[in-house]
Amino acid sequence: MKTMNKFAAVALTLCVAATANAGKGGSAVKMQAAVASGSTDAIIAEVERTEGLMCAECITTVQNLTMDDRYPVREVAAWWYAKRPQLAHQMALQMEKDLTGDALHVRNAADFLGGIKELQSLPMLRTAMTSGNLNSDAKLALVGAVRSMAHVGGNPILEAAMTDGDAKVRAAAIDAWREVIHQDGNIGVIEARLADSDSMVRAHAATVIGAKQDLNARTSLENLVVNDTDPYVRRNAAYALGKIGSADSRAALTLASGDSSGLVKNVAKAALSSLK
């Protein structure tokens, strides 16, 4: 992203109404010193202290922080902009353009747009998710933006992410789906992940299936609780079967209650007691 001279007029308009001590002990000089120190904690603290302060120097400094390599720094920069809706809107317009750029620009833009909860950007975020030049960090940022926005319009992004080649992206999409989409989404996209090649993804999917009490997944879960090689998957499958509560799962859970893993054994016994 280029230096934001185009936002100078907005900055000056907002600065007219600001007083010299509008922040909570913060100042542009202190913020710049924190940035120069390289300390993540110091940067976050000084940005937060300028919550109510408006100055041109502050805008330039925080704008640069939206491109920082550290997620917590980008996160607090978006928070700062979210406190200034007019300025945030101007910044969002540029970030939407950045969604058509390389993976780094997409990552930074998605983090920013999610941080300010710019729902109007969802169509552009969906388009970005289909781009073939993204790395895992950019895809995780797109999933994170949907999670932050908490809007069903992000469902296509999560469904695409659930079939991504990176297991971390698939697992993150499952978790976001549970928080955001579950009331309006198709549980079938989660059921499919019970057969995922990655144990972490299978475990996450089993948890969501249990939370949704999805009876259609019972047979798959019974297979997992008895045969999966990963104890966390078996444990989460036992949990899910207990939440579903079907008496037809008694045989599988009885076997699981004798599992070699205490993780599985204890959850399976608790699940057995909850069957109808």
In tens, the pLDDT along 124-164 reads: 999 999 988 899 999 999 999 999 999 999 999 999 999 99
How many domains is the chain partitioned into structurally? 2
Q: Contact 206/232 with Cβ under 8 angstroms?
A: no
In the listed set 22, 44, 70, which residue is the last one of a domain according to the structure?
70
Domain stop point among 54, 70, 86: 70
- Angle at CA 96, nearest 5°, toward 95 and 99? 90
Q: How far apart are CA 34 and CA 43, in angstroms?
A: 5
Q: Which residues contact 247 (CB under 8 A, 6 or more apart)?
A: 275, 276
What is the chain's percent helix, strand, coil content, to nearest 5?
75, 0, 25
Mean pLDDT of the chain: 91
The CATH code of the domain that includes 268 is 1.25.10
Convert the pLDDT of each residue in 222-240 to its tens digit. 999 999 999 999 999 999 9
Rounded to two decimals, the pTM is: 0.87
The answer to whether residue 188 is domain-embedded is: no
* Domain-located, residue 30: yes
Assess if residue 101 is contained within a domain: no
Instruction: Provide the domain limits for residue 2.
Output: 1-70
Q: pLDDT per residue over 173-214, tens digit each?
A: 999 999 887 777 789 999 999 999 999 999 999 999 999 999
pLDDT tens sequence across 49-72: 998 887 888 999 999 999 999 999
For residue 270, tell me if it sits in a domain: yes
> How many Å separate Cα 143 from the centre of its chain?
5
Q: What is d(CA 225, CA 234) in angstroms, rounded to the nearest whole number?
A: 4
In this structure, is residue 93 part of a structural domain? Answer: no
Q: Is residue 79 part of a domain?
A: no
Question: CA separation (Å) from 86 to 8, 81, 82, 110?
Answer: 13, 9, 9, 19
Three-state secondary structure call for residue 186: coil
